[in-house]
Amino acid sequence: MHEWTYEALMQELTKPADTKTLLIVLDGLGGLPVPELNGKTELEAAQKPNLDELAKRSMLGLSEPVFPGIAPGSSAGHFALFGYDPLRYYVGRGVLEALGIGFPLQEGDVAIRANFATIRYEGDQPIVVDRRAGRPPTEETKRLCAKLRDAISEVDGVRVLIEPVKEHRFVVVLRGEGLGDGVRDTDPQGTEQPPLSPVPDPDTPENRRTAEVAAKLVGRIAEVLRDEPKANFALLRGFAKRPNWVSFRDLYKLNPCCIAVYPMYRGLAQLVGMTVLNFEGDTIADEIAALRRAWNDYDFFFVHIKATDSRGEDGDFQGKIAVIEEFDRHLPDILALQPDVLAITGDHSTPARYRAHSWHPVPLLVHSRWVIPDPTVDGFGERACAKGTLGKIPAKFLMSLLLAHAGRLERYQA
């Protein structure tokens, strides 16, 4: 007996339609009750008349990113919202780090997350003294990366691309033929021990080739940095290639675009084949303006708003409220575009009181002609969503739900 997968079913059932679907992700939207807010959450406490009014004529529910208890990272949270089961679709740390700085990864590239580190030598044997080289300021890391770039552009015919990230972190991309990404980390995860050698795992010719190049690269880096007082070595982690997944376009028969400011989210959208729009500015207003300009050219729009998550991670519940209220003021402009389907949710919760991504399911609002609103709802909030007419749905099924509302799904079986 053959079992339909989500992917096969989507490719079978989706059909084009003259409808526009808008998915707005307020990153880290969900919150927890805050004593200073009389036990309301950030979302519940925000003055957001437009969202509250919309909630009354929409379906509310909760989106579960992975399964109960699992707090997803940004990639897992977004893959789920895009319908890519995060337990099956995930990318290595090297790729995420490269996406995070907007590095244009090409097919076949091996991306590596690198740390500047401090070592001392016992004879010829390097011993790790500080795995983060005293956390140099980012400016210092930029200088170190420039120095490495000047000295090293290739190893054994493989191009070496080096980009600073933040503090001690930088990205190395190996570009060449026949490179595998199955190579173990060289970070020994502790000090007073030698760095590890890059070991191919599993032992294939491609992985062996990458491991050999990486070993030589580490030696070259150590030579170039020999006289640096602190950052005199590099540890390599998360060897990874950009995956080659079925695209949004092929999966859903959509022409999708992404409006996001942060490189990470632009990169995640690109991974699933969205067109990533370039625009001036980095405010919500700038994003909405870009949305308006693009409105006629696409039929699916992913708009990512970062600051809800940032304020949540800072523990700044007033700041998070302010972002929600800022978004609310733009909602009429969004509604004026008359999307056929509008979903507003988050990729995960980032309660200001928790100061981190949490596992709590995320408030979800779906609006279209085909909703069953709840007349007792008085606004958009965690508790209204927990009792919402949409119920709790796995985030990985949000796209199929939105496609249905958009008139883009055939019936399953006669």
Q: Closest separation between CB of residue 342 and its own copies, Å?
A: 16
Near its own copies by CB under 8 A: residue from 11, 101, 247, 359: 359
Give the burial string for 182-220 (b: 16+ CB within 10 Å, else e): bbbbbbbeeeeeebeebbbeeeeebbbbbbbbbbbbbeb
> Residue 213 in contact with residue 186, Cβ under 8 Å?
no
Cβ-proximal residues to 2 (8 Å cutoff; 6+ apart), any chain: none
Residue 35 binding its own copies, by CB under 8 A: no
Q: Closest separation between CB of residue 365 and its own copies, Å?
A: 15
Site string for its own copies, 381-400 (x = CB under 8 A): -xx--xxxxxxxxx--xxxx
Residue 373 binding its own copies, by CB under 8 A: yes
Q: Closest separation between CB of residue 100 and its own copies, Å?
A: 8
The pair of structure tokens assigned to 73 is: 């990272």
Can you name the residues that pair with 169 across neighbouring β-strands? 115
Q: Closest separation between CB of residue 127 and its own copies, Å?
A: 27
Q: Which is nearer to its own copies, 56 or 147 (CB)?
A: 56
Q: Which is nearer to its own copies, 233 or 239 (CB)?
A: 239
Packing angle, helices 74-81 and 398-405, rounded to 10 = 30
Q: Which is nearer to its own copies, 107 or 124 (CB)?
A: 107
Q: Closest separation between CB of residue 242 and its own copies, Å?
A: 14
Place of tokens 């337990």: 87
Q: Closest separation between CB of residue 161 and its own copies, Å?
A: 21
The pair of structure tokens assigned to 132 is: 């983060």
Residue 374 binding its own copies, by CB under 8 A: yes
Q: Closest separation between CB of residue 59 and its own copies, Å?
A: 9
Residue 251 binding its own copies, by CB under 8 A: no
Q: Closest separation between CB of residue 37 and its own copies, Å?
A: 13
Cβ-proximal residues to 309 (8 Å cutoff; 6+ apart), any chain: 27, 28, 346, 350, 357
Half-sphere exposure of 92 (CA within 13 A, CB side): 23
Q: CA–CA separation, 381 vs 142, rounded Å?
A: 43
Scanning 183-191, 280-288, 308-316, 370-378 for contacts with its own copies by CB under 8 A, the matching segment is: 370-378
**Pick from 59, 26, 30, 58: nearest CA to 381:** 30
Near its own copies by CB under 8 A: residue from 20, 37, 41, 209: 41
Instruction: Tell me, by CB under 8 A, how many residues bind its own copies.
Output: 70
| Other Cβ atoms closer than 10 A to 156 | 11
Can you name the residues that pair with 409 across neighbouring β-strands? 14
Q: Closest separation between CB of residue 312 and its own copies, Å?
A: 14
- What phi, psi does 244 have (nearest 5°)? -120, 80
Alpha helices in 152-188 (DSSP H): none
Near its own copies by CB under 8 A: residue from 53, 90, 154, 325: 90
Residue 3 binding its own copies, by CB under 8 A: yes
Q: Which is nearer to its own copies, 95 or 331 (CB)?
A: 95
Residue 323 binding its own copies, by CB under 8 A: no
Task: Say whether 364 sits in a helix, a strand or coil.
Answer: strand
Furthest-apart CA atoms within the chain: distance in Å: 76
Q: Closest separation between CB of residue 141 and its own copies, Å?
A: 19
Q: Which is nearer to its own copies, 230 or 405 (CB)?
A: 405
Residue 89 binding its own copies, by CB under 8 A: yes
Scanning 18-26, 102-110, 140-148, 368-376 for contacts with its own copies by CB under 8 A, the matching segment is: 368-376
The pair of structure tokens assigned to 283 is: 């405010």
Cα distance between the two ends of the chain = 18
Near its own copies by CB under 8 A: residue from 123, 205, 338, 412: 412
Q: Which residues bind to its own copies, rule: CB under 8 A? A: 1-4, 6, 9, 13, 32-33, 39, 41, 62, 66-76, 85-90, 93, 96, 351, 354, 356-361, 370-375, 382-383, 386-394, 397-405, 409, 411-414
